[in-house]
Amino acid sequence: MSPRTPSESKTTLTDLVLPSETNPLGNMFGGELLARMDRAASIAARRHSRRIVVTVSVNHVAFNKVIPLGSVVTVEATISRAFKTSMEVFIDVLLEDRQSGKRTKANEAIFTFVAVDENGHPVEVPEIRPETDLEQERYAAALRRRQLSLVLAGKLKAQDATELKAIFEQ
Ligand SMILES: CC(C)(COP(=O)(O)OP(=O)(O)OC[C@H]1O[C@@H](n2cnc3c(N)ncnc32)[C@H](O)[C@@H]1OP(=O)(O)O)[C@@H](O)C(=O)NCCC(=O)NCCS
């Protein structure tokens, strides 16, 4: 399988925040934003692998800014690294100013997806070839994030998380 670039599968979803998607303060529910993130990220993972994909882990979510009713929200999902059957996806959430049209980053998340066959068994995915400085940076750090996620999930022993341990030994 030949490697693919992050831009080949990058996925952008833009939508409004409606009243039914807000909390009593009139801001977007976290769960609604998570659903939009999952949708965008799954499309990016499917485009990269050209397979059925499932979410295996929500590695990180930061709700840094509130998103008011009526906001135009853009969710951008980009594959940062592909391993054997899994793919790490970065999700950036941008808010659009009505008058200037300028977009600013409000929130971010990192999810992991696995490509599967028709029976739900993991299958191999193409490698990713990062191009920009940001893509290179996210690619390089993905291995230790994967190890942290596997340790927290009880799927990797802490002593075997070599990349992760290296941070503390520097
Ligand atoms: C995802 C799933 C197919 C994995 O099956 P599995 O038999 O556990 O497969 P493995 O343990 O070999 O893991 C597959 C890959 O996921 C990775 N992985 C598993 N758990 C992970 C975690 N918590 N964080 C990061 N990566 C993880 C593994 O490292 C492996 O990656 P690699 O092949 O690139 O090295 C299976 O767990 C599943 O179907 N889960 C439910 C998915 C789902 O329904 N999601 C929607 C939420 S309801």
pLDDT tens profile 43-53: 999 999 999 99
Q: Is 54 in the pocket of ligand 1 (CB under 6 A)?
A: yes
pLDDT (mean) for 67-73: 96
Residue ID of nearest Cα to ligand 1 atom 6? 122
| Record: fold of 6-130 | Thiol Ester Dehydrase; Chain A (3.10.129)
Residue 164 has a pLDDT of 86
pTM, entire model: 0.95
Angle between helical axes of 133-152 and 162-169 (0-180°, round to 10): 110
pLDDT digits (tens, 9 = 90+) for 86-133: 999 999 999 999 999 999 999 999 999 999 999 999 999 999 999 999
Burial classification of residue 99, based on how many CB atoms lie within 10 Å of its CB (0-12 exposed, 13-18 middle, 19 or more buried) = exposed
- Does residue 167 have a pLDDT over 90? no
How far apart, in Å, are the Cα atoms of 7 and each of 44, 128, 130? 10, 10, 9
Question: Measuring CA to CA, which residue among 93, 92, 17, 2 is closest to residue 48?
Answer: 2
Atom 46 in ligand 1: residue holding the nearest Cα: 55
Please answer whether residues 41 and 59 qualify as being in contact, where contact means their C-beta atoms are separated by less than 8 angstroms. no
Q: Residues 124-138: pLDDT tens digits?
A: 999 999 999 999 999
Enumerate the domain spans of the chain.
Answer: 6-130
What distance in angstroms lies between residue 121's CA and the mean position of ligand 1's atoms? 9
What average pLDDT score do residues 134-148 get? 96
Cβ of 84 below 6 Å from ligand 1: yes
Pocket mutation for ligand 1, best pick of 1, 38, 79, 114 (most atoms within 8 Å of C-beta)? 114
